């Protein structure tokens, strides 16, 4: 009998073309996503080297990183997008790659668009020149971010070289409390395990808490896997996955759907499969989270205090925490609740989906953004924007004093000129709070959409459950 295998190994084994030695395999790539920041340059390199795109039908492209999110924006509204979004569009057309430009109803952040179109499928191997490609693991795909030279390699060969990762399983069981979200869960995991815990691993999330999450919530979990070192995070496909995918534009149809679902049912980890490492998380222990420093592991429950430096045993981490507190203008051992904020950003590939906007709107409805706070809502895609407007969410936000923007990465990475000013403090639903991530000197606190909206209303960091 075959040895029991994990979800990761089953997908991996189906994609091996050749064993290259030293633990490295040559793998077939089923799906490839291109965006304007890395994809445009890669297509230009393919052109300049005289290559052809091997399998253009397995790639889609859309601008997200460099484009403006202001109302009335165009492809050339920013200097970066004038160069890179235009290059992505023209070279996609040359190579026969399906492209969704500014103004197209399918445009959006690649990690939002791929799943909502059904381009991302269970059991597929998916790559993109972006570290948060792990998002797609929420659908049972083996997905990870690749470097710029690897993007060119995939375009030219439809293959990628990769060392087989170790396997980790994080089991989460129990009920999340009122007001506690998937973002709080994954920030809690990162804060508990640390930013290096997943290095060298592909992480499978399991347990009744995980299976009880919607696909959009699962995407938030998998999206942040990279923030504790794991390049891949994934969840076994189940009935929730099938319900999400059925009828989507790129999903299998008719008899192909029946064959696909039968194959996907075989992907779940075998009962006796052995993982290299396992963790147990009790969902009931988790409260709404907020980061206090300059690393995603610098996270604390809203009703707890920032750790005292003496509590941090590792001298290197203690030194980093001290530097982070200095940068953030905060004090060890103090309460983070009540810290004044200047900006709020709701959006990104982490929390820019319809359910995220609904959670923020629930807080915003009938209330007003505090004086002096700039608050922006940026849908993750044109489809999300349309659905939100059909539900009247845009009117709720604008009546409360939030800006309602066009889809894009916006202030997650600020390569489109949309910065948080130096020294300003922003509560953000994005994925990284590194020094300068949202602009030179910007101070970022990661949180859920509800927590971000609550900060906008209160004018300071606060427990969303109180609102």
SS3 for 352-392 is CCHHHHHHHHHHHCCCCCCCCCEEEECCCEHHHHHHHHHCC
pLDDT in tens, 115-142: 999 999 999 999 999 999 999 999 999 9
Model pTM above 0.95: yes
Question: Could you give the angle at which helices 354-364 and 393-400 cross, rounded to 10 degrees?
Answer: 40
C-beta separation of 92 from 44 below 8 A:
no
- Residues with Cβ < 8 Å from 305, sequence gap 6 or more? 333, 334, 335, 336
Residue 308 banded pLDDT, cuts 50, 70, 90: very high
Which pLDDT belongs to residue 2? 82
Mean pLDDT confidence for 352-365: 98
φ and ψ at residue 21, rounded to 5 degrees: 90, 160
Give which of 193, 232, 185 is closest to 213, Cα–Cα: 185
Q: What is the mean pLDDT of the chain?
A: 97
Q: pLDDT by residue (tens digit) across 135-190?
A: 999 999 999 999 999 999 999 999 999 999 999 999 999 999 999 999 999 999 99
Tokens for 32? 């490839």
Give the tens place of pLDDT for each residue, 411-431: 999 899 999 999 999 999 999
Interval 441-462 mean pLDDT: 98
pLDDT in tens, 204-245: 999 999 999 999 999 999 999 999 999 999 999 999 999 999
User: What is the SS3 assignment for 412?
Assistant: helix
Q: 1 pLDDT exceeds 80? A: no
pLDDT band for 294, please (50, 70, 90 cuts). Answer: very high
Coil, strand or helix at 396: helix
Which DSSP letter does residue 228 get? Answer: G
Distance CA 291, CA 444 (A): 8
Q: What is the pLDDT of residue 118?
A: 98
Compute the distance between CA of residue 54 and CA of residue 35 in angstroms, rounded to an integer: 18
The pLDDT tens digits of the residues spanning 316-326 come to 999 999 999 99
What are the structural domains, with CATH classification, of the chain? 8-164+238-264 (3.30.499.10), 166-237+269-285 (3.40.1060.10), 289-466 (3.30.499.10)
157, two tokens: 């060969």
pLDDT digits (tens, 9 = 90+) for 55-75: 999 999 999 999 999 999 999
CB under 8 Å to 372, separation ≥6 — which residues? 342, 459
The DSSP symbol for 93 reads H
DSSP H helices in 212-264: 215-223, 239-245, 254-264
d(CA 187, CA 178): 17
- Maximum alpha-carbon separation in the chain: 67
106 has a pLDDT exceeding 90: yes
pLDDT cut 90: percent of the chain above it = 99
């Amino acid at each position: 009998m075959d040895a029991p295998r994990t979800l990761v190994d089953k997908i991996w084994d189906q994609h091996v073309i050749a064993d290259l030695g030293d633990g490295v395999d040559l793998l077939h790539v089923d799906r490839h996503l291109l965006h304007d920041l890395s994809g445009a340059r890669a297509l230009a390199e393919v052109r300049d080297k005289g290559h052809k795109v091997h399998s253009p039908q397995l790639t889609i492209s859309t601008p997200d990183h460099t484009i403006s999110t202001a109302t009335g924006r165009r492809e050339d509204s920013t200097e970066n997008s004038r160069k890179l979004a235009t290059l992505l569009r023209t070279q996609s057309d040359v190579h026969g790659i399906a492209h969704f430009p500014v103004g197209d109803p399918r445009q959006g952040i690649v990690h939002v668009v791929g799943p909502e179109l059904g381009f991302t499928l269970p059991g597929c191997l998916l790559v993109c020149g972006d570290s948060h490609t792990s998002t797609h693991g929420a659908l049972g795909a083996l997905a990870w971010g690749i470097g710029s030279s690897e993007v060119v390699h995939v375009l030219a060969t439809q293959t990628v070289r990769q060392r087989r990762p170790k396997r980790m399983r994080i089991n989460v069981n129990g009920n999340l409390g009122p007001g506690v979200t998937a973002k709080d869960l994954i920030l809690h995991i990162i804060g508990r395990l640390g930013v290096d815990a997943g290095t060298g691993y592909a992480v499978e999330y399991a347990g009744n808490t995980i299976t009880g999450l919607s696909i959009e919530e699962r995407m938030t979990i998998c999206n942040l896997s990279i923030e504790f070192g794991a390049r891949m995070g994934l969840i076994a496909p189940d009935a929730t996955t099938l319900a999400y995918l059925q009828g989507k534009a790129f999903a299998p149809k008719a008899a192909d759907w029946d064959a696909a679902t039968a194959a996907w049912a075989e992907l779940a980890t075998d009962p006796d499969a052995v993982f290299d490492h396992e963790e147990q998380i009790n969902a009931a222990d988790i409260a709404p989270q907020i980061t206090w420093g300059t690393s995603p592991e610098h996270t604390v429950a809203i009703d707890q205090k920032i750790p005292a430096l003496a509590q941090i045993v590792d001298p290197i981490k203690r030194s980093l925490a001290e530097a982070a507190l200095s940068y953030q203008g905060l004090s060890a051992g103090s309460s983070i609740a009540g810290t004044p904020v200047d900006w709020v950003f709701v959006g990104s590939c982490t929390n820019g989906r319809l359910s995220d906007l609904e959670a923020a709107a629930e807080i915003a409805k009938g209330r007003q953004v505090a004086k002096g706070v700039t608050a922006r809502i940026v849908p993750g895609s044109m489809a999300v924007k349309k659905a939100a407007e059909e539900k009247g969410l845009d009117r709720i936000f604008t009546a409360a004093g939030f800006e309602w923007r066009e889809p894009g990465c916006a202030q997650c990475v600020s390569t489109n000129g949309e910065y948080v000013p130096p020294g300003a403090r922003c509560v953000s639903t994005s994925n990284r709070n590194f020094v300068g991530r949202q602009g030179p000197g910007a101070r970022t606190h990661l949180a859920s959409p509800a927590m971000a909206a609550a900060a906008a209303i209160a004018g300071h960091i606060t427990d969303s459950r109180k609102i």
